Amino acid sequence: MEIFRQMVNHCIRIGLGSNCSTLKKLSLLSYHQLKEYYIPSKYKLNAISQAAGRLAQMKKDIKKGRKVKSPFVRKPYLVSCYGFKINCMLLSFPVKNREFANILLTDHTVSELSKEGVKAKSFTITPISLSISIQKDVTEIKPEGAIGIDRNLRNITISTPERMIMYRTEKVLSIKENSQYVKASFRRFDVRVKSRFYTKLRGRQTRRVNQYLHKISKYIVDEAKRTKSMIVFEDLKGIRKLYKKGNGQGKKFRRIMNIAIPNYEIQRQVTYKARWEGIPVYFVNPKRTSQICPICGGKLQEDRLNRRKLWCSNCGKLMDRDVVASMNIAHKGWARFTHPRGLPDEAMKRNVIPKYQEPLILRVHGSKLVAGSA
């Protein structure tokens, strides 16, 4: 692992010196210089690939104006996608000519690798962990309906062909605010201790939030799998620019909006879990999703007493704005799927809800989701 780390850093120095980050050019420049390392040549190719990825990420960060991290590797590790085998409960990979190292796998790992259509593609080893990257053959389902997802500060609302479900996410804001208060209460002036404390606190916050969102994303994908529906998101871009310094907003308001909206994380989790199950995921334009009645297509008006409610003067319906948005997102996604060029109308009539029947809304607290619940 230490030799592999040294090879990666050697390739990174070559890439920085020649200002190249592409795999092809870096291979031509560095492959022959790695002959001083006595290690199978397959690992040299992986080291070059790892170095190219780190250099490309550094260039991307510079282009976007982000804080650039050092591309060099500090801890020993080993990555390979060539020459390894999984024999029963052992992972075998070459270390020298005709010499192999064997690692005992857990029962869970063996059971996952033994499933039909699953193949091991690569592995990553550190002094304390082993990760195996797998490939799964998935057949995409033919959707019979659409699930629209509307993401907000305090809830995630989904519209299924059968019902509405509102997942409450206030706890995400509570977790992040509590972390900010604990961070502000730290009074020691030792920079090293302060840095370790902030890193530990940030890691704990990320784990708690992701575990909370994993429960919600799992149930959304399970609902889509049960109803054989595709999943539709709003194509949201530039949200952070709405709450940056200089927009005339208060500091506390900007902090809450920037730390509390887990838009991309819930989208990332649902997307990869859905694709793992063969469920298609679509993205639609968010324009006017909260302004048009999903039942009759009429213009909606705000309730002056309760701004979370929207009233349609055409059909007389009074509905929650998050429910309206999720229904319109589902309608747009289904229209995109059935008519690739789109429809002239922004919203279609809802067939599953009668004209004078209120939609059923299930309000679910994300932290109380358990296996087998709706």
Taking only the tens place, the pLDDT of each residue in 303-313 is 766 777 888 88
Residue with tokens 């067939």: 351
- Say if residue 6's pLDDT is above 80: yes
Give the pLDDT band of residue 177 (cuts 50, 70, 90). confident
Burial (0-12, 13-18, 19+ Cβ within 10 Å), 110: middle
Cα 365 to Cα 165: distance, rounded to the nearest angstrom: 10
Cα 179 to Cα 175: distance, rounded to the nearest angstrom: 6
Percent of the chain with pLDDT over 70: 86
Q: Going by DSSP bridges, is the β-strand pair 130-136/118-125 parallel, antiparallel, or unpaired? A: antiparallel
Token pair, residue 175, equals 């977790």
Cα 54 to Cα 71: distance, rounded to the nearest angstrom: 6
Cα 144 to Cα 345: distance, rounded to the nearest angstrom: 21
Cα 144 to Cα 183: distance, rounded to the nearest angstrom: 48
Region for residue 342 given its phi and psi (left: phi exceeds 0; alpha: psi -120 to 50; beta: otherwise): left
pLDDT in tens, 251-293: 777 766 666 667 788 889 999 999 989 999 999 888 888 888 8
Region for residue 154 given its phi and psi (left: phi exceeds 0; alpha: psi -120 to 50; beta: otherwise): alpha
Mean residue pLDDT across the chain: 83
Over residues 136-163, the mean pLDDT reads 86
Token pair, residue 252, equals 């506390």
- At 126 the three-state DSSP class reads coil
